[in-house]
Amino acid sequence: MTAPAIASPGQASGLTESEAARRLAASGPNEVTSERSVRLHSRILAQLRDPLITVLLGAVALTLAIGDHPDAVVIALVIAVNTAVGVAQEIRADNAVAALSALSAPHARVLRDGAVRDLPAADVVPGDVLRLGEGDIVAADAELAEATALLLDESMLTGESVPVDKAGGDALSAGTVVVRGRGVATVTATGSGSALGRIAALLDTRREPTPLQRRLAALGRVLAVVTLSLCVLVFALGLVRGLPPGTMAVTAISLAVAAVPESLPAVVTLALALGARRMVARHALVRRLPAVETLGSVSVLATDKTGTLTEGRMVVQHVWTPRVRAELSGVGYEPVGEVLVDGRPATEDELRPVRELLTAAALCNDATLRPPDPAPSDARWTALGDPMEAALLAAAAKAGCPAQAALSASRPRIAEVPFDSLRRRMTTLHTTAHGRVLVCTKGAPEAVLDPAVLAAGPDALAEARRQAARLAERGYRVLAVASRVRDEVPDPVTAAETRLTLLGLVALSDPPKPHAAATLAACRAAGITPVLITGDHPATARAVASGVALLGDRGESDGQVITGADVAAGRVADLTAVPVFARTDPQQKVDIVQAWRAAGAVTAMTGDGVNDGPALHRADIGVAMGARGTEVARQAADLVLTDDELSTVVAAVEEGRRVYDNIRRFLVYGMAGGAAEILVMLAGPLLGLPLPLRAGQILWINLLTHGLTGVAMGAEPAAPCTMRRPPRPPDQHILGGGAWQRLLLLAAVVTTVTLGAALAARTLGLPWQSVLFLALLAAQLGVVLGLRARLLTRQNPFLPLSVLASALLAAAALYVPFLSSVLETEPLGWTGIALAAVCAPGGFVAARLVRTAFRRTG
């Protein structure tokens, strides 16, 4: 927002309350505009605009027009249930995401009328003077006036995993976190005018339909045309044969309803809702139901680095001393691990220089490790302060150094030279048991490996610099550590940073999560291309990509890691040929995602920071981290991972493919049955069966097959080969990939066995129309069982139960007087029942055969 005149950073008393109120009225509250809340009627209308729902609404109108009120009620009930489930899921997910807003800055300490006040962050205005301390979230963009050892975590904005040192005059961005030190800053921009607000503005784009929505919309348009054509064709043929126009109008409309699998919306919604429920159990929250299926169609997974592929916590992995090189095991800030030399536990002699180095690093340290809370079962050690300093404390514990409290007690700090961006090192002075002064220094290698600082010869310095460069090239954050024992504290204290003894180098990194490599391998096995997009340093990005096997055998070759500057300058001919992007800004992340989409890929983007929000929104599906993710990322996403584990995405992909397969399986079953009913009506008169089925019989068959059993198909488990096949082409029709062929083959078999049973019944003098009615239903029930991916599974008992219920209701249509009268059926003897029942195994065998012929199409 446009700011009024900014107060001077040196203003001692801050703004007056009256001036702050005036500026608040002029600039508005310090809030990033979030997604506008969707009204209930808008949600309902969005559901009803679905093409298939439109067809069903037309079917309701037709059935009402012919006076078929029971069927009109049934179809309307399907529409109502589908709409209610869809709207309820959206509202529930939105409410759950709102509850995750723990990383916002609800309050800020502001200087007003000469006194520090604790205010809601929304009340902060341009010109306010902020007081910042450790753990504070910066409430608005500001200019730093005073700083004391101030270190900020900007990863949510930049993707950079290493905290940034800040000095007077530097700019601060809203949403960043103070990890060390304190400062005073003057607010320069609030709300949408802040850096966070400008990124959030990129989200203000229209959400495009998902692949499933596009495919079902195309199918709905086709079915609408087919439905109208069938009405006209059947009505005309009946008139040609001299049948009454009223009878043929009712029959034509009934066939039109049969042609449309009206329970498809219910099947789709049930399948998606079950998938969403399973995802919640697997630590994933679905914000929009179609997102479940969309993950099943994903062909490219673009992931950020910090907190997604990596732990999001610094860890000491290597220690180099002039006497020994060692590796440290363990993850996170937990002080548990081993010191290894050449892959074996270090000996006591080898541990001695490592402990000396890490003891000095632990003394020259302002961080604190906090043990896990015993209440939560998954609690972890956490850090208060600089993550790198916390990692040094954990490493010292692994090496067997005294605990931090014991070190501080035995060697109390008596003076210090704080870290700053010019010196790039920190020095602390401690008294020893003998009354002397221990000087401990740590900092950037170029700041410590200096003849003015170290008492080391040229060869020793050159070797240390070579080792530091080697570690930096591998993507590590490198610190040099030195110490010296003096007789007294020098004056000035900075004079203590001379003639120090080099203890060695420490290599830190934000390591990959334990299962990250396996997760990406599972993606590749499923035909999904992983891409790393991060705001971190190219060397760090390369190291992480190599650690998770993202670069392959060409990990060190040119062109594998590209920077955002290269993308912005147009120096990359094909963005889809690059596996790793570093130093990217939010717009460049969007450009990369858009390049993949333009190439025909279905993209998923994972992220947790504000800088990931626009790309999450632009991707076909955005996946946000719930535990450490920002509100901007969560609001932009379709799926929120509450456990922040990338492996949950693989489970979601399998779930999405299961949902899509079940929808396709229902379409094959439902439309094959509808096509068979149409073929029976068209071919029956040619074989001497004048009116094979009456309107009520068609609708009853349709209700039992498309209703009970059809909806039950939405809960079928995934096929064994689900994650061993590539994703479906984004331009493939929902009935492509062999589904049309399966549908027509099954329709032909069901038509043949049904007409055969009816002709046999007529020859035997049985009520052939009732036999045909029961045979057509039995054949379709055989098909639904034969199409199961896991034939004898117990995971979905509702399907065999629904088949049994449908069979009983079919019998009721013959033997219950009221139903028999309404549907115009006749009771059958054992011969008629046998003729109809034999059609069930015919449909079952046909379904198993087509499953074998088209095994890899789901």
Looking at residues 464-482, what average pLDDT do you find? 93
**How far apart, in whole angstroms, are the C-alpha atoms of residue 227 and residue 61?**
14
Q: What is the pLDDT of residue 102?
A: 34
Strands of 176-299 (E only): list them. Answer: 177-189, 284-286
Catalytic residue list:
304
CB 172 within 8 A of CB 178: no
Average pLDDT, the chain: 83
Query: What is the token pair recorded at 83?
Result: 């709409």
pLDDT of 745:
94
Q: Identify each DSSP E strand in 36-192 by its residue range.
A: 107-112, 115-120, 129-132, 141-153, 164-166, 171-172, 177-189
Q: Residue 800: is its pLDDT beyond 80?
A: yes
**pLDDT tens-digit map of 675-712:** 898 888 888 888 988 778 876 788 788 778 877 787 78
Q: What is the pLDDT of residues 714-770, one digit of tens each?
A: 788 888 888 888 888 767 777 878 888 899 999 999 999 999 999 999 999 999 999
On the 0-12 / 13-18 / 19+ scale of CB atoms within 10 A, 672 is: buried
Three-state secondary structure readout of 570-617: CCCCCHHHCCEEECCCHHHHHHHHHHHHHCCCCEEEEECCHHHHHHHH
Q: Would you say the C-alpha torsion 47, 51, 53, 57 has a positive or negative sign?
A: positive
Question: What does the pLDDT average to over 256-266?
Answer: 63
What pLDDT is attached to residue 778?
96
User: What tens digit of pLDDT does each residue of 414-439 get?
Assistant: 999 988 777 889 999 999 988 999 99
Calculate mean pLDDT across residues 557-584: 85
Amino acid at position 31, single letter: E
The answer to whether residues 694 and 251 touch, using CB atoms and an 8 Å cutoff, is yes
By mean pLDDT, which of 307-311, 331-335, 430-434, 447-451 is the weakest?
307-311
624: pLDDT strictly greater than 50: yes
**pLDDT confidence bin for 96, thresholds 50/70/90:** very low
In sequence order, what are the beta bridge partners of 322? Answer: none
CB-based contacts of 36, cutoff 8 Å, min separation 6: none
pLDDT band at 645 (very low <50, low <70, confident <90, very high): confident
Place of tokens 């029961």: 774
At residue 558, does pLDDT exceed 60?
no
pLDDT for the residue numbered 101: 40
- Cα 844 to Cα 397, 679, 803, 838, 857: the distances in Å are 66, 19, 13, 10, 19
- Phi first, then psi: what are they for 738, rounded to 5°? 100, -10
pLDDT in tens, 183-204: 999 999 998 888 777 766 665 4
Average pLDDT for 369-397? 81
Task: Identify which of 237, 208, 189 has the alpha carbon closest to the alpha carbon of residue 32.
Answer: 189
Domains of the chain: 266-279+654-858 (1.20.1110.10), 293-310+514-644 (3.40.50.1000), 319-446+472-497 (3.40.1110.10)
The mean per-residue pLDDT over the stretch 625-651 comes to 77
pLDDT at 578 over 80: yes
Residue 33 confidence (pLDDT): 56
Helix, coil or strand: residue 285: strand
Percent of the chain scoring above 70 in pLDDT: 83
Mean pLDDT of all residues in 549-566: 70
Contacts of 73 (CB under 8 A, 6+ apart): none
Q: What is the pLDDT of residue 631?
A: 59
Give backbone dihedrals phi and psi of 774, rounded to 5 degrees, phi first.
Answer: -70, -35
At residue 279, the pLDDT reads: 80
> Residue 557: what pLDDT?
44
Q: Which two tokens stand for residue 348?
A: 């006591």
Question: How far does Cα 767 stand from its chain's mean position?
Answer: 58
- What would you measure as the largest C-alpha separation in the chain, in angstroms? 120
Q: Could you tell me the strand order of the sheet in which 529-533 lies?
A: 284-286, 639-641, 621-625, 603-607, 300-303, 529-533, 580-582, 561-563
The rounded percent of the chain whose pLDDT value lies above 90 is: 35
Residue type at 106? P
Predicted local confidence at residue 51, as pLDDT: 57
Looking at residue 213, what is its pLDDT?
A: 63
| pLDDT attached to residue 318 | 96
| Local structure of 35: helix, strand or coil | coil
Q: Note if the pTM is more than 0.85.
A: no
Q: What is the pLDDT of residues 18-63, one digit of tens each?
A: 999 999 999 888 876 555 567 788 878 877 776 556 666 776 776 6
Supply 174's token pair.
């809203």
pLDDT at residue 590 tops 60: yes
pLDDT at 207: 53
Choose the weakest-confidence range: 157-171, 203-217, 267-281, 497-511.
Answer: 203-217
CA 224/CA 778 separation, integer angstroms: 28
pLDDT at site 264: 65
Instruction: Determine contact, residues 505/471, Cβ cutoff 8 Å.
Output: yes
Q: Where are the alpha helices (DSSP H) in 627-738?
A: 631-636, 647-683, 695-703, 710-712
Cα 266 to Cα 275: distance, rounded to the nearest angstrom: 14
Token pair in block for residue 710: 């059809």
Rounded CA separation 81/614 (Å):
34
Three-state DSSP class for 485?
A: strand
**pLDDT score for 614:** 78
Whether 477 and 392 have beta carbons less than 8 Å apart is answered as no
